[in-house]
Protein backbone atom coordinates (compact mmCIF):
# COMPACT_ATOMS: atom_id res chain seq x y z
CA UNK A 1 0.00 0.00 0.00
CA UNK A 2 1.15 3.50 -0.69
CA UNK A 3 2.77 5.26 2.20
CA UNK A 4 1.02 8.36 3.40
CA UNK A 5 2.21 11.92 2.94
CA UNK A 6 3.14 12.34 6.57
CA UNK A 7 5.38 9.28 6.30
CA UNK A 8 7.20 10.76 3.33
CA UNK A 9 7.72 14.05 5.13
CA UNK A 10 9.21 12.23 8.09
CA UNK A 11 11.47 10.19 5.85
CA UNK A 12 12.76 13.31 4.15
CA UNK A 13 13.44 14.77 7.57
CA UNK A 14 15.33 11.65 8.62
CA UNK A 15 17.37 11.59 5.42
CA UNK A 16 18.38 15.26 5.25
CA UNK A 17 18.63 16.43 8.86
CA UNK A 18 22.00 14.73 9.55
CA UNK A 19 23.33 16.33 6.38
CA UNK A 20 22.10 19.69 7.60
CA UNK A 21 23.83 19.12 10.94
CA UNK A 22 27.04 18.27 9.09
CA UNK A 23 26.84 21.35 6.89
CA UNK A 24 26.46 23.52 9.99
CA UNK A 25 30.21 23.09 10.45
CA UNK A 26 30.65 25.24 7.35
CA UNK A 27 28.97 28.05 9.20
CA UNK A 28 31.41 27.46 12.03
CA UNK A 29 34.29 27.87 9.62
CA UNK A 30 35.19 24.31 8.66
CA UNK A 31 33.31 22.74 5.78
CA UNK A 32 33.03 18.98 5.59
CA UNK A 33 34.91 17.14 2.85
CA UNK A 34 32.93 15.89 -0.11
CA UNK A 35 33.29 12.22 0.69
CA UNK A 36 31.91 12.79 4.16
CA UNK A 37 28.93 14.66 2.75
CA UNK A 38 28.24 11.76 0.42
CA UNK A 39 28.68 9.26 3.24
CA UNK A 40 26.29 11.09 5.52
CA UNK A 41 23.77 11.46 2.73
CA UNK A 42 23.91 7.75 1.91
CA UNK A 43 23.62 6.77 5.56
CA UNK A 44 20.75 9.22 5.96
CA UNK A 45 18.91 7.72 3.02
CA UNK A 46 19.44 4.26 4.44
CA UNK A 47 18.13 5.42 7.79
CA UNK A 48 15.09 6.93 6.14
CA UNK A 49 14.39 3.66 4.35
CA UNK A 50 14.89 1.59 7.49
CA UNK A 51 14.16 3.81 10.49
CA UNK A 52 15.11 1.12 12.97
CA UNK A 53 18.44 0.23 11.40
CA UNK A 54 21.87 0.99 12.85
CA UNK A 55 22.36 3.48 10.04
CA UNK A 56 20.70 6.02 12.31
CA UNK A 57 23.26 5.72 15.06
CA UNK A 58 26.06 5.50 12.51
CA UNK A 59 25.16 8.71 10.69
CA UNK A 60 24.67 10.70 13.90
CA UNK A 61 27.96 9.47 15.32
CA UNK A 62 29.67 10.31 12.02
CA UNK A 63 28.39 13.87 12.23
CA UNK A 64 29.44 14.18 15.87
CA UNK A 65 32.90 12.80 15.06
CA UNK A 66 33.33 15.44 12.35
CA UNK A 67 32.30 18.14 14.78
CA UNK A 68 35.02 16.85 17.10
CA UNK A 69 37.70 16.23 14.46
CA UNK A 70 37.03 19.06 12.05
CA UNK A 71 36.46 21.79 14.61
CA UNK A 72 38.99 21.65 17.36
CA UNK A 73 37.93 24.07 20.03
CA UNK A 74 34.79 24.39 18.00
CA UNK A 75 32.44 25.74 20.65
CA UNK A 76 30.45 27.61 18.07
CA UNK A 77 26.86 28.76 18.10
CA UNK A 78 26.29 26.68 14.95
CA UNK A 79 26.32 23.67 17.25
CA UNK A 80 22.82 24.58 18.39
CA UNK A 81 21.10 24.23 14.99
CA UNK A 82 23.20 21.13 14.41
CA UNK A 83 21.91 19.62 17.65
CA UNK A 84 18.38 20.56 16.65
CA UNK A 85 18.79 18.88 13.26
CA UNK A 86 20.14 15.69 14.78
CA UNK A 87 17.38 15.58 17.35
CA UNK A 88 14.74 16.21 14.68
CA UNK A 89 16.04 13.27 12.69
CA UNK A 90 15.94 11.10 15.79
CA UNK A 91 12.38 12.09 16.67
CA UNK A 92 11.21 11.59 13.09
CA UNK A 93 12.71 8.11 13.11
CA UNK A 94 10.92 7.37 16.38
CA UNK A 95 7.61 8.37 14.81
CA UNK A 96 8.32 6.21 11.79
CA UNK A 97 9.18 3.23 13.96
CA UNK A 98 5.72 3.08 15.56
CA UNK A 99 4.43 0.88 12.76
CA UNK A 100 4.66 -0.04 9.09
CA UNK A 101 4.73 2.69 6.43
CA UNK A 102 0.96 2.40 6.02
CA UNK A 103 0.40 3.60 9.57
CA UNK A 104 -1.12 7.03 9.53
CA UNK A 105 0.57 9.43 11.90
CA UNK A 106 -2.09 10.91 14.12
CA UNK A 107 -2.02 14.42 15.45
CA UNK A 108 -1.76 13.64 19.17
CA UNK A 109 1.28 11.43 18.65
CA UNK A 110 2.96 14.03 16.46
CA UNK A 111 2.42 16.91 18.84
CA UNK A 112 3.44 14.79 21.84
CA UNK A 113 6.81 14.19 20.24
CA UNK A 114 7.14 17.80 19.15
CA UNK A 115 6.76 18.81 22.80
CA UNK A 116 9.17 16.12 23.93
CA UNK A 117 11.72 17.06 21.32
CA UNK A 118 11.50 20.72 22.25
CA UNK A 119 11.88 20.00 25.95
CA UNK A 120 14.82 17.67 25.41
CA UNK A 121 16.45 20.17 23.08
CA UNK A 122 16.60 22.69 25.91
CA UNK A 123 19.57 20.72 27.23
CA UNK A 124 21.65 21.82 24.24
CA UNK A 125 21.52 25.58 24.84
CA UNK A 126 21.91 25.02 28.57
CA UNK A 127 25.05 22.96 28.07
CA UNK A 128 26.24 25.44 25.46
CA UNK A 129 25.79 28.35 27.84
CA UNK A 130 27.51 26.44 30.62
CA UNK A 131 30.40 25.60 28.31
CA UNK A 132 30.76 29.21 27.24
CA UNK A 133 30.68 30.30 30.88
CA UNK A 134 33.39 27.88 32.00
CA UNK A 135 35.47 28.17 28.83
CA UNK A 136 37.79 30.82 30.26
CA UNK A 137 37.97 29.19 33.68
CA UNK A 138 41.00 27.03 34.51
CA UNK A 139 40.10 23.35 34.31
CA UNK A 140 40.19 21.57 37.67
CA UNK A 141 42.61 18.72 38.02
CA UNK A 142 41.20 15.42 36.84
CA UNK A 143 38.06 16.99 35.36
CA UNK A 144 38.24 15.02 32.11
CA UNK A 145 39.13 11.82 34.02
CA UNK A 146 36.03 12.27 36.15
CA UNK A 147 34.01 12.97 33.03
CA UNK A 148 35.31 9.82 31.40
CA UNK A 149 34.47 7.79 34.49
CA UNK A 150 30.98 9.29 34.57
CA UNK A 151 30.48 8.44 30.89
CA UNK A 152 31.65 4.87 31.45
CA UNK A 153 29.34 4.54 34.45
CA UNK A 154 26.43 5.83 32.42
CA UNK A 155 27.19 3.39 29.63
CA UNK A 156 27.40 0.55 32.14
CA UNK A 157 24.06 1.50 33.66
CA UNK A 158 22.49 1.73 30.25
CA UNK A 159 23.85 -1.68 29.31
CA UNK A 160 22.39 -3.19 32.45
CA UNK A 161 19.02 -1.63 31.76
CA UNK A 162 18.99 -2.73 28.15
CA UNK A 163 19.87 -6.27 29.15
CA UNK A 164 16.80 -6.59 31.35
CA UNK A 165 14.10 -8.88 30.14
CA UNK A 166 10.75 -9.33 31.80
CA UNK A 167 8.69 -12.29 30.67
CA UNK A 168 4.96 -11.57 30.30
CA UNK A 169 2.08 -13.49 28.81
CA UNK A 170 -0.07 -12.85 25.79
CA UNK A 171 -3.71 -13.72 25.61
CA UNK A 172 -4.81 -15.21 22.34
Binding mask 64-83 for other proteins (x = CB under 8 A): xx-xxx-xxxxxx--xx-xx
| 3-class secondary structure, 53 | coil
Establish if 151 lies at the interface with other proteins (CB under 8 A).
yes
Terminal Cα distance for the chain, rounded: 27
Reported as half-sphere exposure (CB side, CA atoms, 13 A), residue 159 has a value of 6
Q: How far apart are CA 113 and CA 125, in angstroms?
A: 19
Binding mask 6-45 for other proteins (x = CB under 8 A): ---------------x------------------------
Length of the chain in terms of residues written: 172
Q: How far apart are CA 18 and CA 60, in angstroms?
A: 6
Per CB under 8 A, the segment of 7-15, 36-44, 106-114 that binds other proteins is 106-114
Among positions 5, 61, 114, 115, the unique one binding other proteins when judged by CB under 8 A: 61
Among positions 26, 29, 42, 52, the unique one binding other proteins when judged by CB under 8 A: 52
Establish if 136 lies at the interface with other proteins (CB under 8 A).
no
Establish if 167 lies at the interface with other proteins (CB under 8 A).
yes
Amino acid sequence: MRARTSTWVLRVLVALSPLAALLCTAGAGEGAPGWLVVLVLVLGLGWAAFPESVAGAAVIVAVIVWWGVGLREGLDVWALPAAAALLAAHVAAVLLSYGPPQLQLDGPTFWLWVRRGASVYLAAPLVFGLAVWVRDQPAPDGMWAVGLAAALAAMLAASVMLARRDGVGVER
